[in-house]
Amino acid sequence: MAKEGQKEGIALAGKAVFDSDIYGGGTTPYLAREINDDEPEEEDIMAGKPQVQARGLQSDLPDPTEDADQDPLAKKSIYEREDDYRRRRLNRIISPDRNDAFAMGDKTPDARVRTYADIMREQQIQREMENTMRNIAEKKKQEAELAAQAPTKAQTSNGAAAATVVGEKRRNRWDQSADNGKPSKTSSEWDSVEQTPHIASKWDATPGPAALDASRWDATPGIGSGAGETPAWGTSGRWDSTPAAEGLAGPTPKRNRWDDATPGRLDGATPAWQGETPSEGMPAAVPKKPRSRWDETPANAGPSATPMIGATPSITPGFFTGATPAAGFAGMETPATALRVAAQQQVPMTPEQYQDMRLQKEMWERNRPLTDEELDAMMPGEKEGYKILPPPANYNPIIDPAKKLMATPTPSFTPFYSMPEDNPGLLADLPVAPEGLPEMKPEDMQYFGKLLQDVDEAELGVEEAKERKIMKLLLKVKNGTPPQRKAALRQITDKARELGAGPLLNQILPLLMQPTLEDQERHLLVKVIDRILYKLDELVRPYVHKILVVIEPLLIDEDYYARVEGREIIANLSKAAGLASMIAAMRPDIDNIDEYVRNTTARAFSVVASALGIPALLPFLKAVCMSKKSWQARHTGIKICQQIAILMGCAVLPHLKSMVDIIKHGLKDENQKVKTITSLSLAALAEAASPYGIESFDDVLEPLWRGIRSLRGKVLAAFMKAIGFIIPLMDSEHAFYYTREVMVVLKREFQTPDEEMKKIVLKVVKQCVGTEGVEPEYIKTEVLPEFFKCFWNRRMALDRRNYKALVETTVELANKVGCSEIVSRVVEDLKDESEPYRRMVMETIDKVVSALGSSDIDARLEEVLIDGILFAFQEQVTDDANVMLNGFGTVVNSLGKRAKPYLSQICGTIKWRLNNKAAKIRQQAADLIARIAPVMKACEEEQLLGHLGVVLYEYLGEEYPEVLGSILGALKSIVNVIGMTKMTPPIKELLPRLTPVLKNRHEKVQENCIDLVGRIADRGASFVPAREWMRICFELLEMLKAHKKAIRRATVNTFGYIAKAIGPQDVLVTLLNNLKVQERQNRVCTTVAIAIVAETCAPFTVLPALMNEYRTPEINVQNGVLKALSFMFEYIGELAKDYIYAVTPLLEDALMDRDLVHRQTAATVVQHISLGIAGLSCEDALTHLLNYVWPNVFEVSPHLINGVMGAIDGCRLALGPSIILNYTLQGLWHPARKVRETYWKIYNNLYVGAQDAIVAFSPALDDDEKNTYRRHELDLCI
């Protein structure tokens, strides 16, 4: 365990560390997880950018959805949804402040501040240590292999000796040897010093227990250096056990204080404390010497490294555990123990620990025994005449095992939390935050705990007061209400320079590394960093690396918006700190030993390039990519070029030649990973530059071609990908030549078993075939036979990504060679036994036929195709994506009249499936009717359509809403194509059957039903009595509450159709009454319906009733009337000239109302009126209304201001810019700033809208010495 801890270490910001000896290896998914050390750099070459590989099996990860009690809507922290690769961000340390070379100038930096040279030196030491450890591991592995071979040789020569050994009894590790003085026989290759090769350095030696220089952490030496056994009396190690009694043989090493025997008891018995069992030949007592505190083995009754007899060991000493302090000896602990506790107090809780802590705490609070004081407060006492009886003398309280468990401290160390004792003063929850601060979460205690201390802020020092103020502001931003958050964010932004970059960032950045952080909290803290970067500017230079450590992981987050935020922060940081500071901070990470660090650094550099310009970074990139010291630096430099291409797209074109020249040498690099990333970068550059830039790739074509002929595996896949992106950039002649050359390799790789290679091959085939100049005949003869033989099999349909790539490539081949060539090769597979394979075939046929049509499909192929489609459609079991349905509809619609011979068979299948007991099958049958109804009409199968209409009518009692929605959709398509007069059943029977269906609240049913009712109201209203339409009107009012906008839009349109059919009066009364409801959405939709009725039936039929309704002294009704007027004038346009004078008095009243919404809506009405009557000689009424609108320009409500500005803009169009300019000039130089700002805003809008027209109306000013203001050309009068 000690060696393990020394090797792995403990991350201060990572997950809690648990003892595997106590908690077990892999049984609990939260504690022990397999970590895969494979680098995920080029795992997914298809994606064009490195994909983050989930390290460890998915099944090993805790799945929160498995817990039935867990709320599915509960928020998940970022840590919980991350995979192991992304969680490596918590292993990074927020680096100390760095020296700012620009601020220091020529001065010598302070020795306490880390400089660039210090960091590079640390990196070099770390790299050397890593190499050394790797060499040691390799050496041990080689020696283990040699040792495995040695016993086979020894067995042949020592046959007799082996027989003797077999006869002996197997020794127990505690057995006492009869010949203590003789070392035991060598039992392992590690114990034989002679087998150790020549020691070139201290790292090369394989330490044996007999070595005098054994490590202090080594295991207890065994007999004669046998591991795991009680030490023999003759061993010579300096750390060995107590020496044997006199007279026993054995070399005596140099004496030191550790060699003296531990004092034993005089009677020779086994001591319970501070002694050890006397062995044979040892005297009963040892001469006493001056006692030293180091002579004891520290132990106590708590968890101890060396357990007492009968006790279970609770903690195995590890790298950080040290020794366990002795009972009663305070301050005598091994220093490492105190360090461990201090270190673990900095470890944030994992979400599992936090939830467990809360649960334990709550259970304890609910179930702890009541104290006497609490019982006195609850029960009547002696004053009320009651007596408190003492418990019986022999009474022992029964402790429930669960409660007993809760009261027993757990052996593991839970950070920041200790099990509560029976303390009456214990608070039920965390301490309450001071007044004015938001509630504090348990995990926030380590960051904001100081705020709970009651201190006099007047007595605090400057730095302490500043730290406390920052804490308060950050707590408000993180946990506060929106108003608190907004105020704190503004305050922290305004005072950023005053508070200082160091204190601010030193508190914000650890919060972002918190494991329990949620997306919203991270978003807010990132927003804080973004805001303060603008203010701090150059002051952030010493903290650039700190910020990058926290922000870089956002660049590989699965959330798109988090990646955008990360790019924005790094871009702003690079602008504030400058290129030199960014390079100085990030250069050491370019060749970091950890791949995660290199990956995120490459992405961060690409963002810096996008912010500061690619040319600024090119010299540095060239130096990094040519690095001879480490392949990691070259790899990262080339990856930066790849990320720049992915991030910036076609913006790389001006620098394409330079970037290709920088990375092209990587194709000949000795390291395979560098070769791979180089070809991937070339692919990214070619993709970004497409369809230009082929001349920049001239130098890399030859090495790429040589590479694909000599390489294999992942590197070959990368080279082929690069070629696949470069070929489409070529002209047609060269593209065809290179396609033929590369096709040889591609055809060879058609048979590869590697899934990744298959995706690459399919992608390259698609790119090559789609290039102009590649001849169809070549594709038919050379590519198609092998392609269909190798790829079109059942296995390809099982992997979703392979499936998609194969379909796309086949469609591209069809674009080149024609529809029938492809369809004829796959059509037989529509009757395959495998449903996923049939689905893949159908999707391919669907896309090919929809893209190319069916004109080249002959009669025989047509029959086979329809037969196969019918078989596949009937045999399907699950089709969530409707692949079969879409394919069937596409083929039948494409065939058109050629499908007539097959329609009776298709309709028979449909009717049979409509009667199926499975709801999904009934739904698909109804959906198919909707798809093929237009074709049936074109084939003059109206009788068949009518028959299907009757069948569907009989199924309107369907109980499943999804199926009912599809049946209504099918009826709608039949009504559309067959017409109202020929519809069976007749419309007068169909519509009353639909009225109760309108009550259904399922969205699909509502949408299809309202569409069908609207279509009947539009084209067949005369077939239905007015009473039925009024009944439908009342049902439609409920539809206005629907969540889906399409349903509400169809509903208000239907009101217009019904009003047109039966007259507006009854419909209008229904709608006006609906203005009195409370729901705003309902009222707004009602106003739109009123406006549509006015447009349909002419405004004069609606306007009197509408204006009369305005007299109702109810604010919702009046607002609704104004809203209806607004929509009405928007819809009727120029007809407004006939009604402007009628509504002017109403608008006067509304524009003078105290209610803001009245004035806002009235201003919108004025806007729509003015836009409608421009140039129609109604300027007098409009000027009158403008005088009522203008005083509202100083309002602060944003909605009202928008309405007023819209009205003024509309008046500019109708009255001309001169009128508005005269209104505006009076306030442009007003002494009050708020007045000036408003008037200049209006003037700017006027200037943008009518810049040339206001020239003639600008004030006439006299010229001065410098400027000419007179416009003499305007003084001419004709």
Structure tokens at 532: 């303060």
Structure tokens at 715: 């590197």
Q: How confident is the prediction for the chain on average, in pLDDT? A: 78
Closest C-alpha among 6, 7, 14, 5 to residue 88 = 14
pLDDT digits (tens, 9 = 90+) for 583-641: 988 988 898 888 999 999 999 999 999 999 999 999 999 999 998 888 999 999 999 99
Q: What is the pLDDT of residue 423?
A: 44
Q: What is the pLDDT of residue 267?
A: 44
**Residue 627 within a domain:** yes
> Quick one: pLDDT band at residue 433, thresholds 50, 70, 90?
low
pLDDT digits (tens, 9 = 90+) for 1125-1156: 999 999 999 999 999 999 999 999 999 999 99
Instruction: Collapse the DSSP code of 19 into the 3-class scheme (helix H, G, I; strand E, B; otherwise coil) and give the result.
Output: coil
Q: Are 1038 and 1078 in contact (CB under 8 A)?
A: no
Q: What is the pLDDT of residue 202?
A: 40
State yes or no: pLDDT of 503 exceeds 50.
yes
Residue range 1169-1183: average pLDDT? Answer: 93
> Quick one: pLDDT band at residue 312, thresholds 50, 70, 90?
very low
**Residue 444 within a domain:** no
pLDDT digits (tens, 9 = 90+) for 561-574: 999 999 999 999 99
**Residue 104 within a domain:** no
Lowest mean pLDDT among 56-65, 331-340, 723-732, 741-750: 56-65
How many other β-carbons are positioned within 10 Å of the β-carbon of residue 1043?
A: 9
Q: Are 640 and 605 in contact (CB under 8 A)?
A: yes
* Exposure string over 615-628, b if 16+ CB within 10 A, otherwise e: eebbebbeebbebe
Q: What is the pLDDT of residue 553?
A: 92
Q: What is the pLDDT of residue 398?
A: 63
What span, in angstroms and rounded, lies between the C-alpha atoms of 361 and 368? 10
Q: What is the pLDDT of residue 457?
A: 79
Q: What is the pLDDT of residue 980?
A: 87
User: Which one is predicted more confidently, 235 or 605?
Assistant: 605
State yes or no: pLDDT of 200 exceeds 60.
no
Tally of structural domains, the chain: 1
Lowest mean pLDDT among 18-27, 925-934, 1155-1164, 1227-1236: 18-27
* Exposure string over 645-676, b if 16+ CB within 10 A, otherwise e: bbbbeeebeebbebbbebbbbbbebeeebbbb
Q: Are 150 and 189 in contact (CB under 8 A)?
A: yes
**Residue 723 within a domain:** yes
> Quick one: pLDDT band at residue 560, thresholds 50, 70, 90?
very high
Residue range 392-403: average pLDDT? Answer: 64
pLDDT digits (tens, 9 = 90+) for 922-943: 999 999 999 999 999 999 888 9
- DSSP annotation of 191 reads G
State yes or no: pLDDT of 71 exceeds 80.
no
**Residue 456 within a domain:** no
pLDDT digits (tens, 9 = 90+) for 415-426: 455 554 544 443
Q: What is the pLDDT of residue 224?
A: 41
Cα Rg of the chain (Å, integer): 42
Instruction: Collapse the DSSP code of 629 into the 3-class scheme (helix H, G, I; strand E, B; otherwise coil) and give the result.
Output: coil
Q: What is the pLDDT of residue 810?
A: 94
Predicted model pTM? 0.63
**Residue 644 within a domain:** yes
Q: What is the pLDDT of residue 106?
A: 59
Would you mind telling me the total number of residues written for the chain in this entry? 1278
**Residue 1003 within a domain:** no
pLDDT digits (tens, 9 = 90+) for 669-725: 999 999 999 999 999 999 999 889 999 999 999 999 888 888 888 899 999 999 999
Query: Integer distance in angstroms from the first to the last C-alpha of the chain?
Result: 105
- Kindly report whether the peptide bond that precedes residue 615 is cis, defined as omega within 30 degrees of 0: no
> Quick one: pLDDT band at residue 893, thresholds 50, 70, 90?
very high
The position carrying tokens 């996008």 is 610
Residue range 1262-1267: average pLDDT? Answer: 84
Domain encompassing residue 690 = 618-729
**Residue 1000 within a domain:** no
Structure tokens at 598: 């290199």
Q: What is the pLDDT of residue 659?
A: 94
Q: What phi and psi, each to the nearest 5 degrees, are found at residue 441?
A: -80, 155
The CATH number covering residue 714 comes to 1.25.10.10
Q: Tell me the DSSP string of 115-158.
A: -HHHHHHHHHHHHHHHHHHHHHHHHHHHHHHHHHHHHHHHHHHT
Q: Are 909 and 873 in contact (CB under 8 A)?
A: yes
Q: What phi and psi, each to the nearest 5 degrees, are found at residue 321?
A: -80, -40
Q: What is the pLDDT of residue 153?
A: 57
Burial of 1075 (0-12, 13-18, 19+ CB in 10 A): buried
Q: What is the pLDDT of residue 43?
A: 39
Task: Outline where 16-91 has alpha helix (H).
Answer: 20-23, 78-81, 84-87
pLDDT digits (tens, 9 = 90+) for 639-675: 999 999 999 999 999 999 999 999 999 999 999 999 9
State yes or no: pLDDT of 1020 exceeds 90.
no
